[in-house]
């Protein structure tokens, strides 16, 4: 499928109207044309033409008659959720997952491919293209029915130009034109977004953020990052907004991968906890992680050890939760959001981290603002980034080519 190119003002307005009508039918269907006119404020001809267009594209179906308000019974319209599909890809230093979703957001296929920090851009692109072919074949979906591929990748990146700039922990990835490479390899339209932003988009589309206009999502995993939605729009700044993991919490703290000292990420990320665990074990602290101290202690090991009752792991997670709580409180004060979503393995799977973060996040924020915010953990599971990536394409289809998340 070719990318829809907007060539002029009337074309743009036609596309926006089409998205507007389609979104109302998605959210409120089965719904009559008259109701679509009432909700959108569009006139008779515009709605009639847009619906005819959508039916011709198989995106909308007529499904029987509604109740009459005097005259003829109106024909009801509904979304055809399997008319098209969207793909989401989570690309991380050591993880590569591709998911296929229908237009109602149901996961209809998933494939995980090998990926390590040394996987080159060419190899990764080839594996994503292979994964796309596999997941489509397994689900029996032809590529012509795919609306696009959304990719959630580590920053910093330029979402506009689709270029991955200098992702830490990915060897040999500098200024990679990932969108172009993936469009060539898959033949699909591709959208690239920083992982935190994609995850925030996923919460708006699928999760706790539905109908929320101001939300911050914080990912607490091997690294720490955030996505920001302000006034219903993703906020990217000049491209790099959301680097909450590199806010300084301890002026003289440990050195961070960014070159600074005492960043949240250097104190509370999975990588940081692993380093700290190994150091404490070398100094004689008892732990069931001792055997791993030389080969490397990862996020997964710490979560498993804490669950098995290991005191060192539990203490480290407690400290992670405390640091995260301060970051949450600072975020509440800075942005006054309605919602903060905590995602990533440390926040989603450790009750200790979550409890501490909620407690301190509220206690240390400005009281009035603290009372206005809901703080929750993501309910989208391990694949929250795959969903977030797919939601970028859904948002473009249903919300139009100009704004990702208009009200
Ligand atoms: Zn840093």
Q: Per the domain annotation, does 172 fall within a domain?
A: yes
CB 324 within 8 A of CB 357: yes
Average pLDDT, the chain: 93
Determine the distance separating the centroid of ligand 1 and the alpha carbon of 289, expressed in angstroms: 26
Q: Domain count for the chain, please give it.
A: 3
Determine the distance separating the centroid of ligand 1 and the alpha carbon of 216, expressed in angstroms: 19
Residues 110 and 169 in one domain: yes
Q: What's phi and psi for 196, nearest 5 deg?
A: -60, -45
Residue where the block lists tokens 């109602």 = 104
Which helix (H) or strand (E) is 138 found in, with range?
Answer: helix 121-139
Determine the distance separating the centroid of ligand 1 and the alpha carbon of 246, expressed in angstroms: 4
- 200: which residues sit within 8 A by CB, 6+ positions away? 209, 215, 216, 217, 226, 227, 228, 229, 234, 341, 388
Question: What's the token pair of residue 74?
Answer: 């109106």
Q: Give the confidence band of 312 by pLDDT, cuts at 50, 70, 90.
A: very high
Question: What's the token pair of residue 349?
Answer: 């799977």
Determine the distance separating the centroid of ligand 1 and the alpha carbon of 385, expressed in angstroms: 22
Q: What's the mean pLDDT in 188-200?
A: 96
Which pLDDT score, from 0 to 100, does residue 209 have? 85
Residue 301 scores a pLDDT above 90: yes
Residues 274 and 129 in one domain: no
**Domain end: 56, 79, 102, which one?**
79
DSSP alpha helix (H) spans, 176-263:
178-186, 195-205
Q: Per the domain annotation, does 191 fall within a domain?
A: yes
**Domain end: 18, 47, 79, which one?**
79
Residue 1 scores a pLDDT above 50: no
Determine the distance separating the centroid of ligand 1 and the alpha carbon of 406, expressed in angstroms: 33
Residues 98 and 162 in one domain: yes
Residues 27 and 137 in one domain: no
Residues 116 and 192 in one domain: yes
**Domain end: 27, 49, 79, which one?**
79
Instruction: Give the CATH number for residue 40.
Output: 1.10.10.10
Residue 319 is part of which domain span?
208-379
Residues 69 and 104 in one domain: no
Sheet holding 31-32, edge to edge: 31-32, 75-79, 60-65
Determine the distance separating the centroid of ligand 1 and the alpha carbon of 184, expressed in angstroms: 34
Determine the distance separating the centroid of ligand 1 and the alpha carbon of 332, expressed in angstroms: 21
Residues 229 and 348 in one domain: yes
Residues 139 and 237 in one domain: no
Determine the distance separating the centroid of ligand 1 and the alpha carbon of 36, expressed in angstroms: 49
Residue 295 scores a pLDDT above 80: yes
Determine the distance separating the centroid of ligand 1 and the alpha carbon of 183, expressed in angstroms: 32
Determine the distance separating the centroid of ligand 1 and the alpha carbon of 220, expressed in angstroms: 14
CB atoms within 10 A of CB 238: 6
Residues 266 and 350 in one domain: yes
Determine the distance separating the centroid of ligand 1 and the alpha carbon of 94, expressed in angstroms: 20
Determine the distance separating the centroid of ligand 1 and the alpha carbon of 268, expressed in angstroms: 11
Residue 70 scores a pLDDT above 90: no
Which pLDDT score, from 0 to 100, does residue 2 have? 46
Residues 173 and 53 in one domain: no
Q: Per the domain annotation, does 22 fall within a domain?
A: yes
Question: What's the token pair of residue 170?
Answer: 């990915």
Sheet holding 339-343, edge to edge: 233-234, 224-230, 215-220, 339-343, 374-377
Determine the distance separating the centroid of ligand 1 and the alpha carbon of 95, expressed in angstroms: 22
Residues 133, 138: Cα–Cα separation, whole Å:
9
**Helices 121-139, 178-186: crossing angle, 10 deg rounding:** 40
Residues 141, 386: Cα–Cα separation, whole Å:
18
Q: Per the domain annotation, does 26 fall within a domain?
A: yes
Q: Per the domain annotation, does 1 fall within a domain?
A: no
Residues 260 and 119 in one domain: no
Determine the distance separating the centroid of ligand 1 and the alpha carbon of 267, expressed in angstroms: 10
Residues 51 and 185 in one domain: no
Q: Give the confidence band of 404 by pLDDT, cuts at 50, 70, 90.
A: very low
Which pLDDT score, from 0 to 100, does residue 45 have? 95
Determine the distance separating the centroid of ligand 1 and the alpha carbon of 405, expressed in angstroms: 30
Residue 6 scores a pLDDT above 80: no
Q: What one-character DSSP code corresponds to residue 309?
A: T
Q: What's phi and psi for 192, nearest 5 deg?
A: -115, 135
């Amino acid at each position: 499928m070719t990318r829809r190119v907007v060539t002029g003002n009337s074309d743009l307005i036609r596309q926006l109207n089409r998205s507007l009508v389609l979104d109302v039918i998605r959210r409120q269907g089965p719904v009559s044309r008259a109701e679509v006119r009432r909700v959108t404020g569009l006139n008779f001809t515009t709605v009639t033409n847009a619906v005819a267009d959508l039916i011709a594209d198989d995106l909308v179906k007529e499904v029987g008659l509604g109740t009459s308000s005097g005259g003829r019974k109106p024909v009801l319209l509904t979304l055809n959720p399997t008319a098209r599909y969207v793909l989401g890809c989570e690309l991380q230093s050591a993880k590569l997952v591709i998911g296929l979703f229908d237009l109602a957001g149901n996961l209809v296929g998933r494939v995980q491919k090998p990926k390590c920090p040394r996987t080159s851009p060419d190899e990764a692109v080839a594996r994503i293209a292979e994964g796309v072919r596999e997941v489509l074949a397994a689900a029996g979906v032809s590529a012509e029915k795919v609306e696009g591929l959304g990719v959630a990748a580590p920053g910093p990146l330029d979402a506009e130009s689709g270029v991955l700039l200098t992702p830490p922990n990915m060897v040999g990835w500098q200024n990679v034109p990932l969108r172009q490479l993936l469009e060539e390899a898959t033949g699909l339209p591709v959208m690239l977004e920083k992982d935190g932003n994609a995850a925030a988009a996923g919460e708006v589309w699928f999760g706790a953020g539905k109908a929320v206009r101001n939300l911050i999502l914080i990912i607490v995993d091997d690294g720490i990052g955030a996505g920001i939605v302000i006034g219903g729009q993703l906020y990217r700044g000049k491209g790099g907004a959301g680097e909450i993991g590199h806010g300084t919490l301890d002026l003289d703290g440990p050195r961070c991968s960014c070159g600074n000292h005492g960043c949240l990420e250097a104190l509370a990320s999975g990588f940081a906890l692993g380093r700290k665990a190994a150091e404490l074990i070398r100094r004689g602290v008892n732990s069931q992680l001792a055997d791993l101290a030389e080969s490397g202690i990862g996020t997964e090991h710490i979560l498993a050890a804490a669950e098995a009752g290991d005191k060192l792991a539990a203490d480290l997670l407690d400290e992670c939760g405390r640091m995260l709580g301060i970051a949450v409180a600072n975020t509440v004060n800075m942005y006054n959001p309605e919602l903060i979503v905590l995602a990533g393995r440390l926040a989603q799977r450790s009750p200790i981290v979550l409890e501490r973060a909620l407690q301190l996040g509220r206690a240390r924020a400005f009281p009035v603002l603290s009372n206005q915010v809901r703080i929750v953990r993501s309910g989208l599971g391990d694949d929250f980034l795959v969903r977030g990536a797919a939601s970028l394409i859904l948002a473009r289809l249903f919300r139009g080519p100009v704004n990702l998340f208009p009200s």
